[in-house]
Structure 1
Amino acid sequence: MATDTTANSTGTSGGGALAGQRITVRTGDGAALRVTVTGAPDAAATVVFAHGWTLHGDVWRAQVAALVAGGVRVVTYDHRGHGGSSAGRAAPWTIDLLGDDLADVIDAVAPSGRVLLCGHSMGGMTIMALAASRPELFGSRVAGVVLVGTSAGSLVPSGRGLPPAVRIRSAAQTRFFAFGQRHPQFMTRGRRILPGPGRPGHLRLVRRGLFGPQADPRLVHECAQMLFATPMSTVCGFFPALAGHDKVGTLAALAAVPVHIVVGELDRLTPLAHSKALAAELPDATLHVERDCGHMVLTERPESVTTPLRELCAGL
């Protein structure tokens, strides 16, 4: 995909937006990706972060601050349709398309030198897609990977051998998001009726689905705000991509670099079994299981992600 860039200086907003140089990376199908570059341009290492479904790049705030303080150059960006990035013309959205977007970001902001990749949930899947489509990058340009709360596939169970309750739930999810894709305006209206991100009912739902029981309420509230701000067209449009994601058996390129796999013990969206399956496919990878944490382990326990990244940086 072709890219062009437009650079602007940006500061830290009252809402906690990351400080750094704001860059727009334009993909071949017209998506404008909001990218933030923080840290010295001559740093020995550049870490590129890819966020999860319905979040945006500012979710990595704690990791960015810690790494930049240690002299690392850091790149965060919003996936198409998320945060400050536009959707582009490509349809349907796929994880492979996100892998192409990641390649465009790397080409635009880190065209030379060693790069480390860190992806949470859908962002981890994005890295897997890049590894499958551009294996030559791993070991030559990409020097290490951290995968956080993610999966190589089978996120939405299917098949006749499943218990009836699981089949019914999976079918209901698929139909719900398919309806949302066709009629996003109805989903948007429906969401306006529901409690907003500051209401106790909404926060309880977010905590139960994404966090461990001891999570800081402020972190839960910040996450709820990100979720609520994501357009329903994006929420529904990416569900089939997640459901269809399957990179099992295609991760050989990742074996060329050090890999750390981080997961919350209580993760409900990408349960521990998915990270264990990744570790089995990548036997040289290091698996880190964080007790009492959920899917948002990157904010609940930020050092669980920062520490392996520091180790990878030190090894360059």
Structure 2
Amino acid sequence: MNRQQTIWSAVGAAGAAVTGLAVGAAARKSKQIAAERRRLAAQLTGGAIPGEQPPGEQISVIADDGLRLSCEEIAPLDGGEPDLTVVLVHGFALDRRTWHFQRRTFAELPGGGDAPRVRQVLYDLRSHGRSERGPRESCTIEQLGRDLEAVLRTLVPDGPIVLIGHSMGGMTVMALAEQFPRLFEERIVGVGLVSTSAGEVGSAGLPKALLSRRNPLTRGVGLLARVQPTLVETGRRLLGDVIWAITRSFAYGDRNVAPWLVDLVDSMISANAVDALTDFVDTVNSHDRIAALPALAGCEVLVAAGDADRVIPFSHAERIAAELPDATLVRFPGVGHMPMLEQPAAMDEALLDLLRRSARRIGGPSRPGVLRRLRRRA
């Protein structure tokens, strides 16, 4: 057995032992959490339920490296001509179900003075949701920016655009601005940055060690998932209730949030392979795009976050807003990392304000290219 084989064998054996200990230690805690989930569900039976979603058309877009991205288009429910296209970009470990409430709100917009009528484009990031898994070397925010450009080029070839990105989705929008600044001069009239950061993600929020490139736990979990994926996924299922409680703690500020909302986030995370997620740790940790923010200055910008966010603290939103003094900064008191799910009415209000402001820019003196494209469509 050569040295590399010995290392892999040792990692596998150690991982199996650690996983076994963790499962055993968590069994008692799991029963306690399961009881709490049942208690919450009983208390909140009269609360919000998922409800019917507006129909969407499933479409695939091919990225510049040949990878297939799963996308969805949602037309206005009244069948009218949209005033602009809203592109929604979800965050790390999630998928396009992140925008559960917003997709209905946007589909029902009537147009006119109340709010512009919009067409929606949603998609799953590479290695997330229904999109194909990319090779590890392609799991970078730079590549996510190029993927977003491919989505725009394929599905939104003309007309004005509003981009809304959550968490790593916001970082993806910044990467697009870094690589394709002319889009923000000619096509993109509005940008929403939700619970995201322009840099130094590993310095605050989650304990620094968890996001650090040198973190042995993150490295070890990713390595073990590649060596013994069945073992890791089995442990993940056995620790389901514990993981559910961790998800609630980091996704939401309100511990009494409706259990189905925690289930939704938990199901999105669980749908992604562990090693596919750890492929992105380096790029999130090293993300630094403060220098790209000026490209957004010609757009209407919303920066929104909860002040109880344990993943990306509110101070990161304040930093972005300081770089974009004309941006609207919205703070959600007591809300965690998922304001679009935890406080959908407040989030929708902020987003609708962004859409109204963006619609007023269409065809203005600083946007002649947008006006020409709209006239071509008429």
**CA shift for structure 1 position 179:** 3.2
Alignment of 1:247-262 (within 5 A): 247-262=289-304
Partner of 2:283: 241
Query: Which of these residues, 195, 205, 208, is aligned with residue 249 of structure 2?
Result: 208
- The alpha-carbon distance between structure 1 residues 75 and 168, as it changes in their structure 2 partners (threshold 3 A), is closer
Partner of 1:10: none
Alignment of 1:44-83 (within 5 A): 44-70=83-109, 71-83=117-129
**CA shift for structure 1 position 88:** 3.5
- The alpha-carbon distance between structure 1 residues 88 and 207, as it changes in their structure 2 partners (threshold 3 A), is closer
Q: Which moved more, 1:53-62 or 1:85-94?
A: 85-94
> Does structure 2 conserve the Cα–Cα contact (< 8 Å) formed by 1:99 and 1:126?
yes
Cα-to-partner distance string for 1:118-147 (whole Å, 9 max, x where unaligned): 000000000010111111111310000111
For 1:201 and 1:167, how far apart are their aligned partners in 2? 22
- The alpha-carbon distance between structure 1 residues 305 and 191, as it changes in their structure 2 partners (threshold 3 A), is same
* 1:184 and 2:232 matched: no
Query: Which of these residues, 37, 54, 62, is aligned with residue 73 of structure 2?
Result: 37
- The alpha-carbon distance between structure 1 residues 121 and 129, as it changes in their structure 2 partners (threshold 3 A), is same
For 1:270 and 1:196, how far apart are their aligned partners in 2? 28
* 1:174 and 2:215 matched: yes
Alignment of 1:75-224 (within 5 A): 75-89=121-135, 91-157=137-203, 174-185=215-226, 186=228, 189-195=231-237, 199-213=240-254, 214-224=256-266
> Does structure 1 conserve the Cα–Cα contact (< 8 Å) formed by 2:136 and 2:279?
no
> Does structure 1 conserve the Cα–Cα contact (< 8 Å) formed by 2:307 and 2:336?
yes
- The alpha-carbon distance between structure 1 residues 169 and 98, as it changes in their structure 2 partners (threshold 3 A), is closer
- The alpha-carbon distance between structure 1 residues 218 and 113, as it changes in their structure 2 partners (threshold 3 A), is same
Percent identity between matched residues is 33
Secondary structure of 1:91's counterpart equals helix
Query: Which of these residues, 308, 314, 318, is aligned with residue 266 of structure 1?
Result: 308
- The alpha-carbon distance between structure 1 residues 46 and 170, as it changes in their structure 2 partners (threshold 3 A), is closer
Higher helix share: 2
Cα-to-partner distance string for 1:239-291 (whole Å, 9 max, x where unaligned): 11100111023211111111111101100110011111111111111111111
Partner of 2:323: 281
- The alpha-carbon distance between structure 1 residues 183 and 273, as it changes in their structure 2 partners (threshold 3 A), is same
> Does structure 1 conserve the Cα–Cα contact (< 8 Å) formed by 2:211 and 2:218?
no
How many pairs are equivalent?
295
> Does structure 1 conserve the Cα–Cα contact (< 8 Å) formed by 2:54 and 2:107?
no
Structure ID, larger Rg: 2
For 1:172 and 1:95, how far apart are their aligned partners in 2? 15
Q: Which moved more, 1:182-191 or 1:28-37?
A: 182-191
**CA shift for structure 1 position 16:** 7.2
Cα-to-partner distance string for 1:65-99 (whole Å, 9 max, x where unaligned): 00111132111100000000002357242101100
Extract unaligned runs of 5+ from structure 1. Answer: 1-13, 159-165
